[in-house]
């Protein structure tokens, strides 16, 4: 029997079907434990213990963000025997990441077959969880994964691995402390610190900068007249109101459906372009050559690829577009380049190339902007961080100030110094969010690239931990005298 991908991929034999988990989640969890034992997924701890000036044990790694990426990195470190790992997240338990807060689509956009945080362990895939929860037949007829189910899967994933998360904990600042780091955090309004050797910023889309809010909106409108797609909102506020949506990519149509289902009187989507985006970039990029080896390219090639990737816009899903446009109260206006935005008595007036519009409230589908200077936790070190502008001069005509402002990261996703030797501790801050794309590729900002990004990051972290204690390991080897061969007195 042979299977071939619809894109014409290399066929491979199907030896047997995925076994049904007739025992539900308890049976699956028993299988997970067997699988992890079978592949030596939790080797012995090997990183030497260190203590800070007060005598407290220092964490080997602190991961900021316990969403999809943070949990995946924690699992990857666990599989490499890194024991003292802490996970913190500013969200309340069960709301890490966007899945049940700011994500408004019904399903994920990714194909259901993509592997995620499982890192190659079949029993830990979403598919295994789904079949154990709903049955194999339900998986067979499933089109896309419901986002609420995805959140439930991540909660299960966290529990089965025993990953403890310190929720409602916000990172305020990072400072050097000898050859370690001191993190200043706030938990339930109480300030405290955490000492660690390395920190991973798995902070999602906003964690690399800020919400991208046009100055024409933030500088002219009252704050209660607009909401960005990255913000949590009670859509009941939109009932009976006239709504304008700026942008026409995926989040804009998610907004439209949310507003219409909440009872909005009308929704108008204003698209600058004459046509909607049609191509999902991550579908093209999902092959090992690109994901695994983008980081190995020279600067010119990485810059060129990144500029082209950034030119793609994320299209709405067919489902969300169709649902939005099925409402008689929904209108799409293309070619509506905005000329001005201002209050006109009690309404928001927008002048566009396609005419003027009046709204009660604006919803923004304008994405995120990478700008490390806007990250409060990096305020004390951002001036020392090397950017692409510090390391690369683009060919004439290919200058891109926004791209050149991205950090120029090392192979382990680590910050590098603008001036060598000025702040060595930067090498212990690893960036696993959108800011890493020009340096490492699209391997840290969604499900698609995790299978490539997490092993690369984990390997880099372990390499750094090992190299920094090389004398410890040499002394351990030099003094190693465990007896493995001891024949009996008869020589047998």
Question: What is the per-residue pLDDT across 407-428, written as a single tens digit (0 to 9) for each?
Answer: 999 999 999 999 999 999 999 9
pLDDT of residue 13: 34
178 shares its domain with 265: no
pLDDT of residue 53: 86
Residue 283 within any structural domain of the chain: no
Evaluate whether 260 touches 240 at the Cβ level (below 8 Å).
no
41 shares its domain with 88: yes
List the CATH number of the domain containing 330.
3.50.50.60
Q: Rounded to the nearest 5 degrees, what angle is found at the Cα of 374, between the Cα atoms of 370 and 375?
A: 90
Count of Cβ atoms closer than 10 Å to residue 299 Cβ? 15
Closest CA to 359 of 492, 457, 461, 264: 264
Residue 11 within any structural domain of the chain: no
Structure tokens at 33: 């434990």
Evaluate whether 364 touches 213 at the Cβ level (below 8 Å).
yes
234 shares its domain with 360: yes
- Measured between alpha carbons, how far is residue 92 from residues 20, 156, 281, 356 in Å? 34, 16, 32, 42
Residue 1 within any structural domain of the chain: no
Residue 300 within any structural domain of the chain: no
pLDDT of residue 490: 61
331 shares its domain with 424: no
Structural domain ending residue among the three candidates 366, 392, 411? 366
217 shares its domain with 100: no
321 shares its domain with 425: no
32 shares its domain with 181: yes
116 shares its domain with 193: yes
Structural domain harbouring 99: 18-208+370-471
What is the strand order of the sheet 347-352 is part of? Answer: 338-344, 347-352, 355-359
Structural domain ending residue among the three candidates 348, 366, 384? 366
User: Tokens 């209108």 appear where?
Assistant: 331
Residue 291 within any structural domain of the chain: no
Total of domains in the chain: 2
Residue 45 — φ and ψ, nearest 5°?
-65, 140
**Rounded (10°) angle between helices 24-38 and 147-160:** 50
335 shares its domain with 450: no
Residue 39 within any structural domain of the chain: yes
Residue 231 within any structural domain of the chain: yes
- Give CA–CA dist 126/117, Å, rounded: 9
User: Sign of the CA dihedral 310, 315, 317, 321?
Assistant: positive
173 shares its domain with 237: no
Tens digits of per-residue pLDDT, 172-231?
999 999 889 999 999 988 999 999 999 999 998 888 999 999 999 999 999 999 999 999
Structure tokens at 73: 């990195």
329 shares its domain with 218: yes
- Give CA–CA dist 195/55, Å, rounded: 11
Reported residue count of the chain is: 492
Q: Rounded to the nearest 5 degrees, what angle is found at the Cα of 231, between the Cα atoms of 228 and 235?
A: 85
pTM of the full structure? 0.92
Residue 425 within any structural domain of the chain: yes
- Give CA–CA dist 29/22, Å, rounded: 12
333 shares its domain with 389: no
Say which residues have a Cβ less than 8 Å from residue 467's Cβ, sequence separation at least 6: none
- Residue ranges of the chain whose pLDDT lies below 70: 1-22, 489-492
């Amino acid at each position: 029997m042979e299977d071939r991908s619809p894109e014409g991929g290399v066929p491979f034999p199907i030896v047997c079907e995925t076994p049904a988990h007739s025992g539900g989640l308890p049976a699956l969890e028993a299988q997970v434990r067997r699988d992890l034992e079978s592949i030596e997924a939790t080797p012995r701890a090997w990183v030497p213990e260190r203590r800070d000036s007060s005598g407290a044990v220092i964490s080997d790694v602190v991961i900021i963000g316990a969403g999809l990426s943070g949990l995946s990195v924690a699992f990857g470190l666990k599989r490499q025997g890194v024991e003292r790992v802490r996970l913190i997240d500013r969200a309340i338990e069960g709301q890490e990441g966007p899945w049940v807060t700011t994500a408004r689509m019904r399903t994920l956009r990714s194909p259901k077959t993509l592997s995620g945080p499982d890192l190659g362990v079949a029993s830990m895939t979403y598919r295994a969880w789904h079949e154990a929860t709903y049955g194999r037949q339900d998986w067979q007829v499933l089109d896309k994964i419901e986002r609420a189910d995805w959140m439930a899967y991540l909660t299960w994933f966290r529990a089965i691995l025993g990953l403890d998360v310190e929720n409602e904990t916000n990172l305020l600042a990072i400072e050097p402390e000898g050859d370690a780091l001191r993190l200043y955090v706030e938990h339930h309004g109480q300030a405290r610190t955490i000492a660690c050797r390395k920190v991973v910023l798995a902070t999602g889309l906003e964690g690399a900068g800020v919400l991208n809010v046009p100055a024409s909106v933030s500088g002219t409108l009252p704050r209660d007249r607009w909401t960005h797609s990255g913000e949590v909102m009670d859509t009941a506020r939109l009932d009976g109101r006239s709504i304008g949506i700026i942008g026409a990519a995926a989040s804009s149509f998610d907004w439209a459906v949310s507003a219409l289902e909440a009872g909005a009187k009308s929704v108008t989507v204003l698209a600058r372009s004459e046509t909607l985006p049609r191509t999902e970039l991550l579908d093209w990029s999902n092959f090992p050559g690109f994901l695994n080896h983008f980081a190995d390219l020279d600067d010119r090639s990485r810059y060129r690829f990144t500029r082209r990737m950034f030119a793609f816009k994320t299209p709405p899903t067919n489902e969300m577009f169709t649902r939005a446009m099925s409402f008689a109260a929904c209108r799409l206006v293309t070619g509506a380049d905005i000329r001005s935005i201002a209050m006109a008595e009690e309404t928001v007036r927008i002048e566009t190339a396609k005419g003027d519009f009046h709204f009660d409230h604006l919803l923004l589908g304008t994405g995120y902007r990478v700008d490390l200077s806007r990250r409060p936790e990096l305020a004390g070190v951002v001036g020392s961080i090397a950017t692409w502008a510090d390391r690369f001069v683009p060919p004439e005509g290919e200058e891109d100030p926004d791209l050149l402002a991205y950090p120029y990261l090392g192979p382990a996703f680590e910050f590098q110094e603008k001036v060598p030797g000025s702040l060595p501790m930067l090498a212990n801050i690893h960036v696993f969010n959108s800011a890493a794309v020009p340096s490492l590729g699209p391997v840290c900002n969604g499900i698609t690239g995790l299978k490539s990004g997490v092993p690369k990051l984990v390997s880099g972290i372990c390499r750094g931990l090992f190299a920094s204690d090389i004398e410890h390991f040499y002394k351990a080897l030099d003094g190693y005298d465990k007896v493995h061969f001891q024949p009996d007195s008869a020589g047998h």
